[in-house]
Structure formats: structure tokens, C-alpha cells
Amino acid sequence: MSVEVRSREQDGVTVVELEGEITSVTSAELQRRILPLIGGAGTTVIDLGRVPYISSAGLRTLLLVHRRAARSKTATVLVGLSEEVRFVMSSTGFLDFFDVRESTAAVLGGVREA
Amino acid sequence: MSPERIDAYPTRAIAGYGVRAGNPLPFGATAVPGGINFSVYSDRATRMWLVLFRPGEAEPAAELEFPAEFRIGSVFAMTVFGLDPETVEYGFRADGPFDPAHGDRFDPSRVLTDPYARTIAGRDVWGAEPDRDRLCPYRSRLVPDDFDWGDDAPPGIPTEDLVVYELHVRGFTCHPSSGVSAPGTYAGLREKIPYLRELGVNCVELMPVFEFDEHDNPRTDPVTGEPLLDYWGYNTVGFFAPKAGYAATGRFGMQADEFKSLVKDLHTAGIEVVLDVVFNHTAEGNEQGPTLSFRGLDNATYYMLTPDGDYYNFSGTGNTVNCNHPVVRDFVLNCLRHWVAQYHVDGFRFDLAAILDRAPDGTPLANPPLLEQLAHDPVLRHCKLIAEAWDAAGLYEVGSFPSYGRFAEWNGKYRDAVRRFLKGDPATVGELATRIVGSPDLYTGRGTAASVNFVTAHDGFTLHDLVTYNDKHNEANGEAGRDGANDNHSWNCGAEGPTDDPEILRLRTRQMKNALALLLTSHGVPMLLAGDEMARTQRGNNNTYCQDNELSWLDWSLLDANAGLHRFVRSLIAFRHAHPVLRSAAHPTCGVSWHGVRAGEPDWSAGCRLLAVTFAQGDERIHLAANAHWEAHELELPAPAPGTSWHLVADTSAEPPHDINPPTAETTLAVPDRYRIGPRSTVILLARPTT
């Protein structure tokens, strides 16, 4: 079991699409693959549209990525949260740590305005 | 970069798993590099197995017997490699003598819950039908301990400045009217923090949140025949585990994070968290009860036993935890430290705490080692420690609980004195006076903060029901009305139960306000029962331990229906916070003057039902007059300090909004030195500079 990681540059923003469940089983590999993608651009969008479930370890991995990014002055934005993922993140307080938007387009729009 | 640990490798294999001798401390399961360390104490076990489960599977994935050489002292310890701390579930199987007369009740057919389990799988969703045949119904799990607390710090509010609010996590938001996204959960309560802030309380006391089994109640609804749940949860299954069924994310095993997030946000709002903890008994019950954990691991250590090996029952629930046994003392201490260190809670309220000072044979100890240890423990040093200073076997220690300068008490005498005064009982004025200045008869030397004052608590009538029912109405509990207290000191104001008589309804509202006015101006720590500020009813049931329904759940539509009462409480709390003279840590002495109808002439006679008192500190003066008489009286007021005059803060006989004036909006009196106090009314005056 693993999480698919696809990344692209778009309008100066790094967009990282994830697919699969983020759990203790998939977290270490995910972290290893996602960290090198972060830090190049001013903003990294993490698209969770194809992530049906994030476990406790998974939430920690996301937060760790967010913190590492912040250290290299990169903002991370989460998009595409399913209702279930948003509910879990909200109930456990993890949502408070992140900048969450509806979609990648919303982020790019925001960047253009700025 | 430190080198890898040199013991992160197995020395042998058991049941296909790499293992090595573990560390006996800490107890329970701890993630270590490459694996998990398991440690369990049993003095009398001859053999011990670690039983591993995969989530959702009925049968164990593996059983690993602890080799004899993995035992240090009476602790079985083993590190198992290659396990995933996020998903592994486990239990222990212990073998040893079955000889109840000598205290041993080993049963190797059972897979036991780790007493130190950090979370428990098995009761993940509240009320879900249990599988009673399942091997090890409550399976132990680990918890990641790296929650991001940010800069969270305990609010550290001086005890005498607290306004405590006792609530049931599920009942607080379970009602559809709560409007929260996850009703009945920690997350739901978190959404209600703005409400708590606005009300002005600065401490929530949560009824039991340690894992328990809500299905652990043999009774059924006498009307429907449906099983009644154990809604309150005073039957602990896991002392280190937050109740999963109270978490919106319990089905994902994330109850620890959810609870921590609640505590963090309460702290941000300036609200402390006190847990109601139950160390007097466990869910294993008496001889007929199930073997779940303690009993199968070391019955004679964990329980108080009679010389014949039967269970002492000082708790009234079948067994009694052997709190002053050295091993159990450590267990309790480790547990409380865990909740302070890992969950940042600010204090504890000890259920039936008199049991905590009994010796293993049940004798009350003058210097109980457990309490001394808790009082001086470095980690617990600044926690609020509150004792329910009695037990179910007649040991009543209100005023005499061994406090070591640290323990406060639920002041049951305050409750009874205020109730009896308010209903108009004769010969109550003298005791009322003692109670509202912080019960110096009970707590001299310990200060006012030793007295947690309350009129209502989860146990007993709500405030609304206290003024609506003369008698308890507990038929719905399925015990033919035998359960629950009979000495409620309640008065229905003229009709039993609901009525549309406007006179009675007005009187009931006034009586509720009278109780609240006394409570929030008394010295000591006031404790409110959640929902009393909006007149929550339990329809006369004074023991709703098994009522997981609208009888117990807070109906938030009452907030609109009783907006006046809510405003009254909110304003009173603000008044208390604004006036330190009501909150002195020491018992007030020279700053108190007593009055009756005439200033300076209190009437302590049995027939008197009126008491007035002036609290003074520096230039501050507050005058409180309580009239439990059914007639009005012309009060002569004492002279306030020069240059000041009395202003009206509250008069419970007035209709909202005139019943209470917000801070700085207190009104002048028509006649400066007199005030007409209505029948069964309470008046609060404040001396302010004359304008």
C-alpha cells in the first residue's frame, strides 16, 4: 500500500496531488517523496482530492511537511479535502494549523490577485 | 546525530515475532525504536502471555508467552519488534492460582485489558451494540504522544477565583438543539467554548471521561423494556484512556487528539479543566462480575478483600480499589500524572474520595499515604485536587478529609444548608451564615478555597427540579423508585411537577435566582451544574445515571425560553469576578457584619428566616440580604463608607431586566438607608461613590 504522489509547477506554484490513504503504513514513504518537492516555490498546494482517509499518523505527517515547508519559507495550502477528512481534521484540531482552500484554482486565483 | 540504539534488535523469536527482554518501566505499551515495549505487573501470576490482535479481527493474531527470564521482580517486560504502534491492539493472558479465599482469581481463559492502556478499542462508537462473546472486549492500544500543544499553559487560576461548571461531555451537546457539528462529543463541546466564555465560568468539571462501557447496566426501561445504558460512566474500564465514544473520531481511534484539542482550546479561552475521576471501584464489580483486568492480573493487590477473600463494598458498586496498597498508590499517581502531563488537565475531583484514605482492611487512616503522595507530587503540585469527601459505607469526612493543605472538598453541608434555608425550614439562619462565609467551622486553616460550594450537582435534582418537586420521580430508572437520594430538601412551591399557575411559576423562578444569588456571593468556590442557568429539568428524576435521552441532555432551546434566568446568572458571575471582596482566600473575619431586619441586629432565633450580611474590604462594601420568609420586610441598611451610598445590584423579586443590573449600571435606592425586601427574595447591594 502506498500513496501516489504527482507534482507539477503551475503559475509559480508547486501543486502536489496525493492519492490513497495516508496512514502509519504509507506515511514514511510519503514523507520521503514529498519533502524534496517543497521549498522551491513560494507556495505549495497539497491536493487531497483523492485521499479518502488520513489516520493519526497521517495527520502528523501532513503537519510535519507543513512545518518543514514553513522553515524554508514555503507556504502550504491544503485543497480538495473530502467531507470525512475535513471532519476528522476539524475534530482533532489539526485543521487549525493549515491554510485550507476549496481547490487549486482558488489558490492560483489568489496568487494572481496578489 | 546520535548513533542508533544498540538494543533495537531482537535477541530471539517468539510466535514469529522478533523479541528481546524489555524494560519494566514505564508500565504498559511504549513505542521504542523498531518495536513496542510491553510491561505488566503481576505478583502472583505464574505465566503471562502478550496477546496481539489485528483491528476488527475476533481471534488473536499471535500469543507470545513472556519467557521466565523476561521477568524482573514481579514485572513481565518484553520488547516486540516489527509492530505498527498505530494499529496494534493487545491484551494479556495471565495464569496463576484460582483460590478466592486467599485472594487469587486467575483465569487464563480471559484476555485482560492492560491497566495502563493509553486508549481502548471496543467501545469506539457510543451505544453501538457490544459483542459480548468477543475475546477481550476492551483491547489496549497505543497513542502517539507528540500532540502539538503550541504554547499551551495551564491558566493557573487561583482556586478561590474559580467558577466551576459541572458538565457531562455527551449530555452537553447531544440534544439536536445544540447546533454543533458533532453532537455529544469532545469536538461538540469545543464548539460551545464561546458559550462558556460568555457565561463567565472559568473551569469545567467533566463527569467521567475515562473509558467505560455504557452497556454495563443490567436494568431496562420499565415502560419500553429497552436496556438502559450507564450514561454517567462511573465504572471505569481504562484509567489512562479517554472515552472513545465521546470522540467524534473515536471510530478512527483519534480520541486522544480530539480530547487534547478540546483542552488546548479551553485553556486559550481561559477555562481550566477538572476531571471527575473514579478510583474507588472498577467495572469488574463483585464476585459475579466479569474478569476484565485487575482481577485477572492481581486480584489481591488491586482490591480490598475481606479475611475470607470476598470483596469489601465501600463504594456501593460491588468492589473497592485497594488505594493504599503501595502498588495501587503508584498506579493512581502514574495515572494522574499521565492526565496532567499528556492531556494538560488542571485538576481532579475524586469520586467517593473517603475510600482513598481507607487502609487495605477498610480502616480509615489518619495519614493515608496515597493522599499525602498526591498532595506533594511534583507533577501534580499545582493541580486542583477536590474530594467528594464521603463514601457509600458511611464514612463522611466533609471538613475532616485528610487534606495536607491541598485538597478542597465538595461541601455537602453548604448544599443542604442553602436548600433548607431557601425552602423556609426553621432554625437555618445560623448555619447559613457559617456556610456563606466559607464554612470556617469546617475549614479553618485551610481557607475558603477548601470549600467547593454548590446547590446542585449531577447527583440529585437540577436547580429547576429542586423548586418543582418535593419528591424524586425515578421510576424510569427501572428500580421501582428505590434509587436516588430521599433527603433532597426540595420544595415544589405549591404543586408537584409542571404547572401553569403563574404565581407558582414566578415563585420557582425566584427561588432559582435566590439559590444562585447565594451561591455566587458566598465565600468559597461556586460550582454550577450545567444547564441550571437555563432551568434544565430532569422531570423530577434525581439520579439520571442511566438516562441517555432527553431527560439528561441539555435542551438548548431553554436558552431562549429562560433568557432572563440566563442573563441573571451571567451577570452574577460577572459581578463575582468584579469584586474580590467575595473571593478572599482567607476566611473573612473583621470585614463581615451581620444584620437582621434592623441593621447590626441579626436574628439567630429558630423562627427567623431572614439574614443580611455586609462584606467589607478596603473601600469596597457589598450587602447581601436573603429573605426566606413568605412575607416582605422593611430592611434597615447599615451605613456604607462615607462618601458612598448603596446601589442595587440584584433583587430576585423584580422581573427582568430589573432583577439584576450589569456592572457599573447599578441603580441608586429610592430611600438611601432602607430597602423593602420581597417575600422569598434575595437582594444584593453595592456601595458606590455618591454622585
**8 A C-beta contact, residue B28 and residue B118:** yes
pLDDT score at A2: 86
**DSSP label of B138:** S
> Measured on CA atoms in the order B447, B453, B458, B461, is the torsion positive or negative?
positive
C-alpha A11/C-alpha A15 separation (Å) is: 10
Within an 8 Å CB–CB cutoff, is residue A28 touching chain B? no
Which own/partner contact pairs does B605-608 have at CB distance under 8 Å and 24+ positions apart?
B606/B426, B606/B427, B607/B426, B608/B429
CB contact under 8 A, B253 and A56: yes
Parallel, antiparallel, or unpaired: how do β-strands B119-121 and B139-141 relate?
A: antiparallel
Range of A39's domain? 4-113
Q: Which residue has the cell 470585614?
A: B591
What are the chain A neighbours of B242 within 8 Å (beta carbons)?
none
Q: B189 vs chain A: nearest CA distance in angstroms?
A: 10
pLDDT score at B343: 98
CB contact under 8 A, B265 and A23: no
CB contact under 8 A, B87 and A24: yes
Within an 8 Å CB–CB cutoff, is residue A54 touching chain B? no
pLDDT score at B2: 60
Distances (CA, A) of B351 to B35, B233, B241, B355: 37, 12, 18, 9
Residue from A91, A94, A96, A97 whose CB has the most chain B CBs within 10 Å, to mutate:
A91
Q: pLDDT, tens digit, for every residue of B643-668?
A: 999 999 999 999 999 999 998 899 99
Closest CA to B198 of B647, B566, B626: B566
B388 belongs to the catalytic site:
yes
Q: A8 vs chain B: nearest CA distance in angstroms?
A: 31
Q: Can you tell me the ipTM of this complex?
A: 0.94
Residues in contact with A55: Cβ distance below 8 Å, sequence separation at least 6, in sequence order: A21, A22, A23, A24, B86, B252, B253
**8 A C-beta contact, residue B121 and residue B311:** no
C-alpha B451/C-alpha B418 separation (Å) is: 14
Q: How many Cβ atoms sit within 10 Å of the Cβ of residue B107?
A: 15
Give the H or E element holding residue B81: strand B75-81
Within an 8 Å CB–CB cutoff, is residue A52 touching chain B? no
Helices and strands (H, E) in chain A, number of each type: 4, 5
pLDDT score at B1: 53
Closest CA to B87 of A63, A56, A92: A56
What are the chain B neighbours of A59 within 8 Å (beta carbons)?
257
Regions of chain B where pLDDT drops below 70: 1-3
CB contact under 8 A, A55 and B86: yes
Closest CA to B269 of B100, B150, B101, B155: B155
What are the chain A neighbours of B247 within 8 Å (beta carbons)?
91
Which of B84, B185, B261 lies closest to A93 in CB terms? Answer: B261
**8 A C-beta contact, residue B485 and residue B415:** no
Within an 8 Å CB–CB cutoff, is residue A83 touching chain B? no
Closest CA to B455 of B445, B465, B443, B463: B463
CATH number at residue A10: 3.30.750.24
CB contact under 8 A, A93 and B265: yes
Which of B146, B181, B258 lies closest to A92 in CB terms? Answer: B258
Within an 8 Å CB–CB cutoff, is residue A10 touching chain B? no
CB contact under 8 A, A56 and B252: yes
Q: pLDDT, tens digit, for every residue of B275-333?
A: 999 999 999 999 999 999 999 999 999 999 999 999 999 999 999 999 999 999 999 99
Beta strands in B280-353, from DSSP E residues, in sequence order: 347-350
Within an 8 Å CB–CB cutoff, is residue A97 touching chain B? yes
Q: Give me the phi and psi of B61, to 5 degrees please.
A: -80, -30
**8 A C-beta contact, residue B29 and residue B77:** no
CB contact under 8 A, A57 and B248: no
Q: pLDDT, tens digit, for every residue of B211-267?
A: 999 999 999 999 999 999 999 999 999 999 999 999 999 999 999 999 999 999 999
What dihedral do alpha carbons A100, A102, A107, A108 form, nearest 10°? 160
Within an 8 Å CB–CB cutoff, is residue A100 touching chain B? no
Q: A112 vs chain B: nearest CA distance in angstroms?
A: 33
CB contact under 8 A, B181 and A55: no
pLDDT score at A108: 79
Q: pLDDT, tens digit, for every residue of A45-96?
A: 999 999 999 999 999 999 999 999 988 888 999 999 999 999 999 999 999 9
C-alpha B347/C-alpha B383 separation (Å) is: 5
B351 belongs to the catalytic site:
yes
pLDDT score at A114: 36
C-alpha B447/C-alpha B439 separation (Å) is: 9
CB contact under 8 A, A24 and B182: no
C-alpha B421/C-alpha B603 separation (Å) is: 14
> Measured on CA atoms in the order A18, A23, A25, A28, is the torsion positive or negative?
positive
Instruction: Read off the amino acid at residue B343.
Output: Y
How many domains does chain A fold into? Answer: 1
For B221, the 3-state DSSP assignment is coil
Closest CA to B414 of B469, B367, B452, B377: B452
Instruction: Read off the amino acid at residue B521.
Output: T
What are the chain A neighbours of B248 within 8 Å (beta carbons)?
87, 91
Q: Give me the phi and psi of A97, to 5 degrees please.
A: -80, -20
Length of chain B: 691
Give the H or E element holding residue A48: strand A43-50
pLDDT score at A41: 66
Q: A94 vs chain B: nearest CA distance in angstroms?
A: 8
What dihedral do alpha carbons B598, B603, B607, B612 form, nearest 10°? 70
The strand pairing partners of B164, in sequence order, are B203, B527
- Orientation angle between helical segments B502-521 and B412-422, nearest 10 degrees: 140
CB contact under 8 A, A91 and B249: yes
Closest CA to B598 of B563, B571, B649, B635: B635
Which of A53, A60, A91 lies closest to B144 in CB terms? Answer: A60
Which grid cell is B449? 478555597
Q: Which of B388, B431, B532, B666 is catalytic?
A: B388
C-alpha B418/C-alpha B684 separation (Å) is: 17
What angle (nearest 5°) sits at the alpha carbon of residue A57, between those of residues A54 and A61?
Answer: 85
pTM of the complete model: 0.97
Pairs of residues, one from chain A and one from chain B, whose beta carbons lie less than 8 Å apart:
56
**8 A C-beta contact, residue B238 and residue B211:** yes
**DSSP label of B19:** E
Residue A113 pLDDT exceeds 80:
no
Distances (CA, A) of B30 to B24, B81, B327: 11, 12, 20
C-alpha B405/C-alpha B586 separation (Å) is: 13
What angle (nearest 5°) sits at the alpha carbon of residue B302, between those of residues B306 and B25?
Answer: 155
**8 A C-beta contact, residue A74 and residue A41:** yes
Q: How many Cβ atoms sit within 10 Å of the Cβ of residue B111?
A: 24
Closest CA to B297 of B113, B29, B51: B113
Which of B86, B181, B258 lies closest to A57 in CB terms? Answer: B86
CB contact under 8 A, A93 and B253: no
The strand pairing partners of B251, in sequence order, are none
Q: B34 vs chain A: nearest CA distance in angstroms?
A: 14
Length of chain A: 114
